């Protein structure tokens, strides 16, 4: 190349793999590993909608047998039917994850039907948009029960099962607001901050049993819960979503993007990752 000439276009060619004709040589797209959860059994709470539903579908496509639980029975059965239609292995067991008896029933059915639990996705969650002075004691207790107590109840049942099997992965849904505060979200921020530190404490306690514990901290994600926030605040959906999109990537997240983070933490790709709060928020916390 002569000085001053424009640089030649960079070209990358995959070398043919011995035993394969050029026509069948793999590209980066079809070389992506599939069935990353083959042989695994995953229990997912809050599985009837939003991030839970999308993660259930993804885990099933990746080869996992999935156990779904949610308080919304019709929606939970619909997700199970969708997975069945796609050839996946699935059961739906309705349950209230703030109830110790319900958590035990769900866990026992998972073991009875599939033989164990390798992945626990503690995903059930609710939000109440209010300051401390606006909250009732009932609001406080309900949010803390669903967002934090449920993880304690499920984890204490599943950890012995994982330990007996030689290890596993627990994934907790936290939030960007578990790492930074937000307006009129006092109990939600408190609950998600608790999830972040519960995750770290559990990772320390159960690492010797080869159980990895991590949490995902999503930013605003396009789910029914996000739109419910607008209703609680008395704002129009369009205005609320436009405000939510004010982050470096200029949009809210998709449930599929959070599900991909859960897949990473559930799979062997994250085999040396534990005690981590994985932020998936389009850069929302980048300046904090």
Do the Cβ atoms of 50 and 258 come closer than 8 Å?
Answer: no
Q: What share of the chain is helix, strand, coil (3-state, %, to 5)?
A: 45, 15, 40
Do the Cβ atoms of 219 and 176 come closer than 8 Å?
Answer: yes
Do the Cβ atoms of 169 and 278 come closer than 8 Å?
Answer: no
Give start and end residues of each alpha helix (H) in the chain: 50-61, 73-85, 100-114, 137-144, 150-165, 186-206, 224-233, 237-244, 255-266
Do the Cβ atoms of 69 and 97 come closer than 8 Å?
Answer: yes
Q: How far apart are CA 261 and CA 66, in angstroms?
A: 17
Catalytic residue, chosen from 59, 92, 188, 240, is 188
Render pLDDT for 128-145 as a digit per residue (tens, 0 to 9).
999 999 999 999 999 999
Render pLDDT for 84-96 as a digit per residue (tens, 0 to 9).
999 999 999 999 9
Instruction: Enter the tokens of residue 66.
Output: 């999935």
Mean pLDDT for the chain overall: 91
Residue 15 has pLDDT above 50, yes or no: no
Q: Which CATH number fits domain 36-220+254-280: 3.40.50.720, 3.20.20.70, 3.40.50.2000, 3.40.190.10?
A: 3.40.50.720
Report the percentage of the chain scoring pLDDT > 70: 89
Q: How far apart are CA 257 and CA 262, in angstroms?
A: 9
In the structure, what pLDDT confidence band is assigned to residue 288 with cuts at 50, 70 and 90?
Answer: confident
For position 162, what pLDDT does the model report?
98
In the structure, what pLDDT confidence band is assigned to residue 7 with cuts at 50, 70 and 90?
Answer: very low
Residue 197 has pLDDT above 80, yes or no: yes
Residue 169 has pLDDT above 80, yes or no: yes
For position 262, what pLDDT does the model report?
98
Q: How far apart are CA 259 and CA 73, in angstroms?
A: 22
For position 34, what pLDDT does the model report?
76
For position 22, what pLDDT does the model report?
41
Could you say which DSSP state residue 145 is in? I
Which H, E and C letters describe 6-42, residue by residue?
CCCCCCCCCCCCCCCCHHHCCCCCCCCCCCCCCCCEE
In the structure, what pLDDT confidence band is assigned to residue 4 with cuts at 50, 70 and 90?
Answer: low
Q: Is 188 one of the annotated active-site residues of the chain? A: yes
Q: How far apart are CA 40 and CA 36, in angstroms?
A: 9
């Amino acid at each position: 190349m002569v000085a001053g000439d424009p640089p030649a276009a960079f070209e990358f060619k995959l070398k043919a793999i011995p035993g394969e004709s050029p026509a069948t040589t793999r590209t980066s797209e079809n070389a992506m590993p599939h069935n990353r959860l083959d042989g695994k059994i995953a229990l997912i709470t809050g599985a009837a909608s939003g991030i839970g539903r999308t993660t259930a579908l993804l885990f099933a496509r990746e080869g996992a047998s999935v156990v779904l639980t949610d308080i919304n029975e019709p929606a939970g059965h619909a997700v199970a039917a969708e997975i069945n239609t796609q050839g996946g292995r699935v059961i739906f067991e309705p349950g209230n994850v703030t109830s110790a008896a319900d958590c035990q029933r769900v866990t026992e059915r998972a073991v009875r039907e599939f033989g164990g639990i390798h992945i626990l996705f503690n995903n059930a969650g609710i939000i109440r948009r209010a300051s401390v002075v606006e909250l009732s004691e009932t609001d406080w207790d309900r949010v803390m029960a669903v967002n934090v107590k449920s993880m304690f109840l499920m984890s204490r049942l599943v950890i012995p099962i994982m330990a007996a099997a030689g290890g596993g992965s627990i994934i907790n849904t936290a939030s960007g607001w578990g790492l930074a505060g937000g307006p009129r979200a006092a109990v939600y921020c408190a609950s998600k901050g608790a999830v972040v530190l519960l995750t770290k404490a559990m990772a320390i306690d159960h690492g010797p049993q080869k159980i990895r514990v991590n949490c995902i901290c999503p930013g605003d994600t396009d789910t029914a819960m996000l739109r419910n926030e607008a209703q609680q605040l008395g704002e129009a959906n369009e205005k609320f979503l436009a405000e939510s999109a004010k982050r470096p990537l200029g949009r809210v997240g998709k449930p599929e993007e959070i599900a991909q983070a859960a897949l990473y933490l559930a799979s062997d790709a994250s085999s040396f990752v534990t005690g981590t709060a994985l932020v998936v928020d389009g850069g929302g916390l980048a300046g904090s």
